[in-house]
A and B are shown apart, each in its own frame.
Chain A
């Protein structure tokens, strides 16, 4: 249906005659490659995971149907509930830490000065490293006996950062921020540069200072960017995996066993693919609900322009 209407619009705009126009604007055929890929690699596996969550399978032989066994096991499992809370906690902390930093840095980097360009380029480096490399690096830096904590005992005490829950979560949030703040800074930098200069010029004439300009022009203008970057952070936070795998392995105890890591433990280390699939499905549902709520509350779905009246 959409296709036909778009094609019609095109017809109206361009007089008939040129063959290129006759092929029309993107339609189903154009979307097909992406759609087939999406179905093949996202929808089909998702359905299979749902089916598998009702089966018992250790990777050998054929899966056995076990009804709702996996699910009852899961709902009695204190680690699952804990892992969901931990996922949410790490996500929320990630957003709270990364957003202000990225906005300030982005707004700063949006200036045209040469030194800012150079510093931004340097600051961008962590993003070029793989999450695995970043985790290994920080693991070594935070070694309690030979790393930074050993030199700064006044700050770190006995250096047992990864051996206690608050420390381990702090490290995960910090390393996540260290790696992804540059990315979000980049988004904010682009968005801040797109803010029309006239707004600042007008504000200056009205006598608004730098701080005032930031809070009354830059921030409101970045609203949609904040939502975009926020959603990326939430999705990234809920699916955090590699940093946990290398830095804490879910420990101490199960204190940093977040859902994605718990799923990995169940499925790929314990070879209990049924329960692993059930965990995965819970994670899918939770993540979907959270992003729906975010989109609704933020009014992102309405896509209102931030430049009304310009």
Chain B
């Protein structure tokens, strides 16, 4: 009996083992590798902007012997998935990124190709882009990325109707902002400034601008470079006290941490006239065009961030997402083809296509085509803003290493809701890893 019972047992165990093995084999399946014959793989964040990327790839393939293949990773997990494949055979040749801290770990791991050689052969790869944007993908003095989508500066949006009803103008200086907030509160606007504090990063935008205006971009650069004392400097303390004053006057109302930008909470506040201002990335404009078209036409206004008297920062400086970039992996087998591909990123065709889907490219020839954009006036305002900016500060959470982002967001939120005072905030920022 024992002998006969042995067989089915072994068979079952064997089957189970085989199943397990075949499952684990899925991970190393036969998806196309980066270096196969005459192809370069281009990996981008999957969303509606892929339309243009497809067009550019098709354009490139018309003339090139080495064919480009566009791969997309949809959804918000782009960075995680990229990090997983970048050091494997499935790594792409060229990939989408946010510059700054998002590519730093890859540079540190020696995976990325500095673009200096490409630029030496064709200086257009640098000179055709706005310098403030191009510099956001410079790591340790070397360029690692070419801008490949639209720029997204942070802009102070307003609801013109609310301002008109209260009889005030959009503020040009910080003191005017405080006055306007007070007037609005007196007139019964409980949330003069809409803030999606639940998302945390919208709160960060206020820090970025106030620090830049008060201390100039140098303070943050120093801090990012490892000089922790920068956070404890007099300028830093001044910026914090100004932010604190704004929060304490009730400018953001009382429930901003329960409001989110991402579920349209803060956007709706502005559109419905329950708030007069929102500080947000340039994408807010197209969002209103989609969700609140009437408001976008009649009520939505936008200005630069107010100046701060006595501040060291140039009032023309901007902060936000400079652009997205294409970076190149060292192990690519077709560097010449990649260089040719990157050159398309300042072609007229590329610029027109990006403007057509509402993105604002950051090439020097963009200006020529601004009239063809979906909303020319807004595009011109943005382009001027970015072009004239001596410095374009990349969002802090993207400039710092990724391991710092959560602790930074926590400190930002806690300072606004009063759980941290200035000293506590300074300590929290000093504790962030900088490399």
Question: Taking beta carbons and an 8 Å cutoff, which residues of A are in contact with B?
Answer: 7, 22-24, 27-30, 32-33, 35-37, 40, 58-61, 136, 139-140, 142-146, 158-164, 167, 248-254, 265, 268-272
Q: Which of A59, A146, A167, A250 has the most CB of B within 10 A?
A: A59
Q: Are A252 and B417 in contact, with the CB atoms below 8 A?
A: yes
Interface string of B182-226 (1 = CB under 8 A from A): 000000000100000111100000000000000000000000000
Residues of B within 8 A of A35 (CB): 16
B412 CB to nearest chain A CB (Å): 10
Residues of B within 8 A of A265 (CB): 406
Interface string of B394-435 (1 = CB under 8 A from A): 000000001111100010011001011000000000000000
Give the residue name and chain of the A residue nearest to B17 (CB). A36
Residue B310 CB within 8 A of the other chain: no
Give the residue name and chain of the B residue nearest to A270 (CB). B403
Q: Are A163 and B9 in contact, with the CB atoms below 8 A?
A: no
Q: Are B20 and A162 in contact, with the CB atoms below 8 A?
A: no
Interface string of B246-261 (1 = CB under 8 A from A): 0000000111111110
Q: Are A143 and B265 in contact, with the CB atoms below 8 A?
A: yes
Q: Identify 12 residue pairs between A and B in the complex whose beta-carbon atoms are under 8 Å apart, listed by A's number.
A: A22-B1, A29-B10, A29-B12, A60-B83, A60-B111, A140-B263, A143-B265, A144-B255, A145-B191, A248-B198, A252-B417, A254-B410
Q: Are B198 and A251 in contact, with the CB atoms below 8 A?
A: yes
Q: Are A29 and B9 CB-contacts (below 8 A) given A60-B83, A145-B269?
A: yes
Q: Are B12 and A33 in contact, with the CB atoms below 8 A?
A: yes
Q: Are A252 and B413 in contact, with the CB atoms below 8 A?
A: yes
Give the residue name and chain of the A residue nearest to B88 (CB). A60
B154 CB to nearest chain A CB (Å): 21
Apart from A60-B109, A265-B406, what are 16 other A-B pairs with CB-CB below 8 Å?
A: A7-B1, A22-B1, A30-B12, A32-B12, A37-B20, A60-B105, A136-B263, A140-B263, A146-B265, A160-B257, A163-B198, A249-B199, A251-B410, A252-B257, A252-B419, A269-B405
Q: Are B8 and A163 in contact, with the CB atoms below 8 A?
A: no
Q: Which of A28, A30, A60, A270 has the most CB of B within 10 A?
A: A60
Residues of B within 8 A of A28 (CB): 9, 13
Give the residue name and chain of the A residue nearest to B4 (CB). A22
For the complex, what is the distance from the CA of A146 to the CA of B274, rounded to whole Å? 10
Q: Are A160 and B254 CB-contacts (below 8 A) given A23-B8, A32-B9, A251-B200?
A: yes
Residue B378 CB within 8 A of the other chain: no
For the complex, what is the distance from the CA of A247 to the CA of B19, rounded to whole Å? 38
Q: Which residue of A29, A40, A60, A252 contacts B414 across the interface (Cβ within 8 Å)?
A: A252
Q: Are A159 and B410 in contact, with the CB atoms below 8 A?
A: no
Residues of A within 8 A of B268 (CB): 145-146
Residue B353 CB within 8 A of the other chain: no
Q: Which residue of A23, A33, A249 contacts B16 across the interface (Cβ within 8 Å)?
A: A33
Q: Are A60 and B86 in contact, with the CB atoms below 8 A?
A: yes
Q: Which of A144, A162, A250 has the most CB of B within 10 A?
A: A144
A55 CB to nearest chain B CB (Å): 15
Q: Which residue of A36, A59, A160 contacts B83 across the interface (Cβ within 8 Å)?
A: A59
Q: Are B80 and A253 in contact, with the CB atoms below 8 A?
A: no
Q: Which of B4, B109, B413 has the most CB of A within 10 A?
A: B413
Residues of A within 8 A of B265 (CB): 143, 145-146
Residue B84 CB within 8 A of the other chain: yes
Residues of A within 8 A of B410 (CB): 250-251, 253-254
Residue B87 CB within 8 A of the other chain: yes
Give the residue name and chain of the B residue nearest to A144 (CB). B255
For the complex, what is the distance from the CA of A169 to the CA of B8, rounded to whole Å? 53
For the complex, what is the distance from the CA of A190 to the CA of B20, rounded to whole Å? 36
Q: Are A163 and B402 in contact, with the CB atoms below 8 A?
A: no
B356 CB to nearest chain A CB (Å): 32
Residues of B within 8 A of A270 (CB): 402-406
Residues of B within 8 A of A24 (CB): 5
Residues of A within 8 A of B269 (CB): 145
Q: Which of B10, B12, B19, B24 has the most CB of A within 10 A?
A: B12
Q: Which residue of B13, B86, B253 contacts A29 across the interface (Cβ within 8 Å)?
A: B13
For the complex, what is the distance from the CA of A291 to the CA of B43, rounded to whole Å? 45
Q: Are A40 and B24 in contact, with the CB atoms below 8 A?
A: yes
Q: Which residue of B23, B260, B274, B403 contacts A271 across the interface (Cβ within 8 Å)?
A: B403
Q: Are A59 and B84 CB-contacts (below 8 A) given A146-B265, A163-B417, A271-B403?
A: yes
Q: Are B105 and A159 in contact, with the CB atoms below 8 A?
A: no
Interface string of B34-77 (1 = CB under 8 A from A): 00000000000000000000000000000000000000000000
Give the residue name and chain of the A residue nearest to B257 (CB). A163
Q: Are A163 and B258 CB-contacts (below 8 A) given A33-B16, A249-B198, A271-B83?
A: yes
